[in-house]
Structure 1
Amino acid sequence: MNTGLKITAFAAALAATFGAAYGIGETLDPVAVAEREPAHGERHAPTSSPEAEGEGGESERHATPAGGLQISEGGYTLDLRTPRVTAGQRTDLRFTVRDGDGRAVTEYRREHDKELHLIVASRDLLTYRHLHPTRAADGTWSIPVDLPRAGGYRVFADFTPAAKGAENLTLGADLAASGAYRPGDLPPAGDTARVDGYEVELTGDLRPGRASGLSLRVTRDGKPVTDLQPYLGAYGHLVALRAGDLAYLHVHPHGAPGDGRTAPGPEVAFTATAPSVGTYRLFLDFRHDGVVRTAEFTVRAGAGGTDAQTPPSGTPEHSDGHGH
């Protein structure tokens, strides 16, 4: 299998502190710009290969900036029309992307089979959703969501406007789920995840400011899965979120189904660059037997990578509804 990769690195989200409960009447403030978002070309290719830089090399000394910590960038703004929901209740999540004149964007370029990818993650990184909403003619996007736990969430819209010269963007906005809030502990770092009878083993370390290889091997009942099915034009999609501020890193395999080089499992390989030292949650989406499943990992960048512990099965709230 070709283990080379394109990386799409995006960042989003400021750290949030929240109390024991979230009320329906609470307001949400816009997110301030923190760091420059890399240009589109920078996102889709690592600045160097793992072999190009030695220990303490240039790319390691200067960590990749975790840009995109804003609701507005490049003349476009994410207008989240549903900033509050009630935990445990199915609600239509609605939003619009607006241009610099305040007009709703109605034309997008398709990337990985979709015009827009939507990620919803809780601040404690225990709930994760990768969704694909529907766009109305007036530019309003919507999709039903059912968030299981009260607390703070972050919504990420990943898209490229069809306008000439427009770059790929990931904009973020805060979402509150009302109800009694109990923060959860991040699962321990580990190299094995289990979901619906599948076991996914992670090899490789996530390194700050330096490209490194990650390989995820999918098995079921101890046997390698060699017939993974294409999902959004690939055999796997990987999203990484940094604990603390939810900096967003979206990675795609370089290979593609039917290219004559990429095998349909059991390994799905990536190259990724962490923006900094820290703890990250990795979410691997893969399709088998017609169902998309999500394997979840906790890893540390710049602190020894994963350790020998295995996250307890079922600790995180998995994205079983997907909504793709």
Structure 2
Amino acid sequence: MRTGLKITAFAAAVAATFGTAYGVGSGVSPVTAADERPSNEHGGHGQNTEEGAVAATDVVPGGLQVSERGYTLALAKDRLPGTSGELRFTIRKDATGKPVTSYETEHGKELHLIVASRDLTAYRHLHPVRAADGTWSTPVSLPKAGDYRVFADFTPSGEKEGLTLGAGLGVAGQYAPARLPEHAARAEVEGGYEVRIEGALRPGAASELALSVYKDGRPVTDLEPYLGAYGHLVALRSGDLAYLHVHPHDGRPGPEVSFTATAPSTGTYRLFLDFKHDGEVRTAAFTVHAA
């Protein structure tokens, strides 16, 4: 997938903010810990964030705008009456006002949809279906009420680069935002899985992140391809939810899946790794500080 953030890829040229390179190995240092987070209070790209992000690149991150480069993400409804329902939307060409009906296929899909809560504790990677008139739809089940953001990651046919558009979504019900989870080098995943992360995330400089999958304490060496890769990584910046979706380099089916990434600014990020094993897609989440 592609985004407006800058990313350096080893085997595939992808423009984004957080990428990865396979086979980092033991030479990778631990991810920046919580006590190393930056103290600067100025927001990146002229925007304030909860963790005080500071601009490090001139590229505007993806997902911050509902309209960009002549395209607009138009939700049929920007509020759901409950935590379960259907999302419907179109990608409209601003010049004509008509829905886009032709897309490039990337990683097996014409469009990838991410829904994340504003507090970054809820995350869904969805694959909507497109009707002939250009309307996309997908069922969605969210864990709680509150404020969410919807990200559409796609490349219209004829465009050389993909883009990511974002729009707000409200879910009715009682809601109290949760605190962002603290940094940890390990994440437990339902089913007896554990994912370990190594590496350093640096603003404005390429760095490597390696994520290794274990089950019941043993390395998983038979990860299954999911959308053409052994893992998919989404990164969201705390505060403004600047978005990045990247894919790993070709490599062995585990236990390590790795990426080369460039953070757009200092600040705190929430990383979501999707991986497939025993026929089921699972997600591990990490809090990482770029400093």
- Which TM-score band (shorter chain)? 0.7 to 0.9
1:235 matched to 2:230? The reply is yes
Shift of the 225–64 alpha-carbon distance from structure 1 to 2, 3 Å rule, reads farther
1:188 matched to 2:182? The reply is yes
Larger RCO: 1 or 2 (CA < 8 Å, sep 6+): 2
1:269 matched to 2:258? The reply is yes
- Residue 150 of structure 1 and its aligned partner are, at CA, apart by 1.6
Contact 1:80 1:96 in 2 (8 A): yes
Following superposition, which runs of at least 4 residues in structure 1 exceed 6 angstroms of deviation? Answer: none
**Which one of 249, 254, 259 corresponds to residue 254 of structure 1?**
249
Distance 1:253 1:288 in 2: 16
Contact 2:115 2:151 in 1 (8 A): yes
Distance 2:265 2:254 in 1: 30
1:290 is matched with: 279
- Residue 165 of structure 1 and its aligned partner are, at CA, apart by 3.5
CA-to-partner distance for each residue in 1:52-92, whole Å, 9 max, x for gaps? xxxxxxxx99435343421111111111112100333x211
Distance 1:45 1:80 in 2: 25
Which secondary structure state, in structure 1, belongs to the residue aligned with residue 180 of structure 2? coil
1:174 is matched with: 168
1:132 is matched with: 127
Shift of the 142–285 alpha-carbon distance from structure 1 to 2, 3 Å rule, reads same
**Which one of 87, 92, 99 corresponds to residue 98 of structure 1?**
92
**Which one of 52, 69, 74 corresponds to residue 74 of structure 1?**
69
1:280 matched to 2:275? The reply is no
Which secondary structure state, in structure 2, belongs to the residue aligned with residue 179 of structure 1? coil
- The code of the aligned residue for 2:85 comes to T
- The code of the aligned residue for 1:43 comes to A
Distance 1:243 1:228 in 2: 30
Contact 1:84 1:177 in 2 (8 A): yes
TM-score (norm 2): 0.81
- The code of the aligned residue for 1:65 comes to V
Distance 2:73 2:55 in 1: 33
Aligned alpha-carbon RMSD (Å): 2.4
- The code of the aligned residue for 2:119 comes to D
2:140 is matched with: 145
- Residue 42 of structure 1 and its aligned partner are, at CA, apart by 7.2
- The code of the aligned residue for 1:228 comes to L
- Residue 9 of structure 1 and its aligned partner are, at CA, apart by 4.1
Unmatched 5+ residue regions in structure 2?
Answer: 7-12, 22-53
1:301 matched to 2:290? The reply is yes
1:311 is matched with: none
- Residue 291 of structure 1 and its aligned partner are, at CA, apart by 0.2
Distance 2:60 2:289 in 1: 16
Which secondary structure state, in structure 2, belongs to the residue aligned with residue 43 of structure 1? coil
Contact 1:226 1:266 in 2 (8 A): yes
Unmatched 5+ residue regions in structure 1?
Answer: 1-6, 12-35, 50-59, 256-261, 303-324
**1:114-133 matched pairs, under 5 angstroms:** 114-133=109-128
**1:3-18 matched pairs, under 5 angstroms:** 8-10=2-4
Contact 2:18 2:259 in 1 (8 A): no
Count residues with an aligned counterpart.
250
CA-to-partner distance for each residue in 1:149-169, whole Å, 9 max, x for gaps? 12110000000001x245301
Contact 1:227 1:265 in 2 (8 A): yes
Contact 2:276 2:282 in 1 (8 A): yes
- The code of the aligned residue for 2:128 comes to P
